[in-house]
Structure 1
Amino acid sequence: MWISEGNDGFVLKMEPKMQLTVILLLWLWWDERNKFREEGRRRPALEVVYVTAALADKFQATGAQSLLPDFRQNPKWTKPQQGNFKVNSDGVFDHRNGSGGWGFIIRNDQGAVVTAGAGKEQFLQSAFHAELLGCLAGLKAAAQLGIRRIVLETDASLVKEALEDDAYSL
């Protein structure tokens, strides 16, 4: 990758403010891609550029360690409480042909893998649909194993919202 020192460190040779701006732009670009993939929404390019510049200025002015609010920072995976199992799930969707897939992994309170699964689908409606199939498959597998104390973890904000709110009537 062109950010690292091993490949001429193109970004690392830039002045600090430009480094920050490039890294923020790459991060926002990746974040926008995920929002489009998972939720089907995206911001105009000019808005992404404006947000990049504003965040770079804010970061430089405050010397902040993080620009993200606490709820947006993704901590590393943590074990569930003793006696619980954690189901992590994910989904992927290709809007061009309606295909995609899903996966899940179940771990015990020591972090050991209990089981995992994945599937491919041809007739998905959306990324939300793929994410829900991953959650459902993980929960079904846990039920088949007799696991009753489950923590469900997913990176799809719409799935979290749907499970926590009655608006989707799931």
Structure 2
Amino acid sequence: MTVVALLWSWWNERNKKNHCERFLTIDEFQFTVGRHVVEWEAHLKAKQGTNFLQARSWQPPPTDFVKINVDAAFNISSNSGGWGCICRDEEAVVRFAAAGRIANASDALHAETFALLKAVEVADDLGVGRVVFETDCLVLKQALMSTSYDYSRLGYSDDD
């Protein structure tokens, strides 16, 4: 950062000389370089916390459980996508991972739901129990945790 501040200040002083303006003494120049370093570092530190979403780090499951993280991708133009899951224990040791293709999905929620279903099937096939599932799809999580999504677009209600 100091080198950048030095070059910036030097270029600024060169421009002042070219335009017949007063330029800084050596002491003023050194102070200006140091001030730029402090200000720029403070500015960059402030940006790190505000301009970017902080990624939440993986949290281990409770003891004697495994966590299966599930995700999907959906391509609206082909109504297809892919799914993947990874299973880790409380020490973050990978127990298994799986992935596959999704054909004929109606939307992203459908793809995310398919991914969760496939993760459940893989865990069941491998005899893995005591599982915590995690998804980044808030709508899927809400659908599983509430009664608000009990009827799909293809389903029916007793009121029909």
Q: TM-score, normalised by structure 2?
A: 0.59
| Corresponding residue number in structure 2 for 1:85 | 66
Of residues 119, 124, 131 in structure 2, which corresponds to 1:143? 124
Q: Aligned in 2, Cα 1:73/1:151: closer, same or farther, shift over 3 Å?
A: farther
- Which stretches of structure 1, 4 residues or more, deviate above 3 A after TM superposition? 65-68
Confirm whether residue 113 of structure 1 aligns to residue 94 of structure 2: yes
Instruction: Tell me, in whole angstroms, the C-alpha distance in 1 between the residues paired with 2:126 and 2:77.
Output: 36
Residue in structure 1 matched with residue 77 of structure 2 by the alignment: 96
Amino acid at match of 2:60: K
1:19-52 deviation per Cα after TM superposition (whole angstroms, max 9, x unaligned): 99xxxxxxxxxxxxxxxxxxxxxxxxxxxxxxxx
DSSP 3-state at the match of 1:139: helix
Correspondence for 2:142: 161
Aligned-residue offset at 1:136: 1.1
Q: Which moved more, 1:87-96 or 1:113-122?
A: 113-122
The Cα shift of 1:73 comes to 5.6
Residue 161 of structure 1 aligns to which amino acid in structure 2? Q
Where structure 2 has 5 or more consecutive residues not aligned to the other structure, the ranges are 5-38, 152-160
Q: TM-score, normalised by structure 1?
A: 0.56
**1:169 to partner: Cα distance:** 2.5
Question: Per the alignment, in what secondary structure is the counterpart of residue 158 of structure 1?
Answer: helix
Q: Deviations over 1:95-129 (max 9, x none)?
A: 11211111111111211111111111221101111
Question: How far did 1:67 drift?
Answer: 8.2
Percent identity between matched residues is 34
Counterpart residue number, 1:47: none
> Which is higher, the Rg of structure 1 or of structure 2?
2
Is structure 2 residue 116 aligned with structure 1 residue 129? Answer: no
* Matched-pair contact (CA < 8 Å) for 1:106–1:138: no
Alpha-carbon distance in 1 for matches of 2:100, 2:86: 12
Q: Which runs of 5+ in 1 are unaligned?
A: 6-14, 21-59
| C-alpha displacement of 1:79 | 1.4
